[in-house]
Amino acid sequence: MANLIREALALSGQRAVIVGPENYFNDPPDTVFQLDATPYSWLFPRMSAVVHHGGAGTTGAGLLAGVPNIVTPFTSDQPFWGHRVHALGAGPKPLPAKKLTAQTLANSIITAVSDQEMRARAKSIGARIRAEDGVSRAMDIVQEYVEGGR
């Protein structure tokens, strides 16, 4: 994985922040900064794009940040979220981890950082999500359900 990431970054001309307990690089290149953990709510809005596995929580954080999401699903619901991100126009087509290559990742990174329509769409989606009052909406739904059942 380290070699794939290193090559994809070189091909795309980009830098990366890698978050996770795994140390992908014993000696990371100057284009990579590794963190064991950090709040995505702080990190993602500072990125040009985010690459992740497509779990529901990480996808939500990526969309909330308003930046393009590149999803590399491994299992479960991750392919679904990758396809949703793409269908919303907030990221390129998902890249299944089993088929991931340095070139396909580089191509997706280049698209995510340079496609102005995709960037605008991701920004718009992020703004809409941040404007939601989810707790109030959930309370309204519960109240409608309870009152409808009487």
pLDDT at position 45 over 80: yes
Both tokens assigned to 10? 């070189």
- Asked if 53 and 74 touch (Cβ cutoff 8 Å), the reply is yes
- Annotation: CATH topology of 2-148: Rossmann fold (3.40.50)
pLDDT given for residue 20 in this prediction: 87
- Map out the domains of the chain as residue ranges: 2-148
- Asked if 32 and 18 touch (Cβ cutoff 8 Å), the reply is yes
pLDDT given for residue 150 in this prediction: 54
Confidence bin at 61 (pLDDT 50/70/90): very high
Q: Which tens digit of pLDDT belongs to each residue from 9-23?
A: 999 999 999 998 888
Please give the Cα distance from 70 to 62 (Å, whole number). 9
Q: What share of the chain is helix, strand, coil (3-state, %, to 5)?
A: 55, 10, 35
Strand-pair partners of 50:
69
Q: Which tens digit of pLDDT belongs to each residue from 82-137?
A: 999 999 999 999 999 999 999 999 999 999 999 999 999 999 999 999 999 999 99
pLDDT given for residue 149 in this prediction: 65
- Burial bucket for residue 12 (CB in 10 Å: 0-12, 13-18, 19+): buried
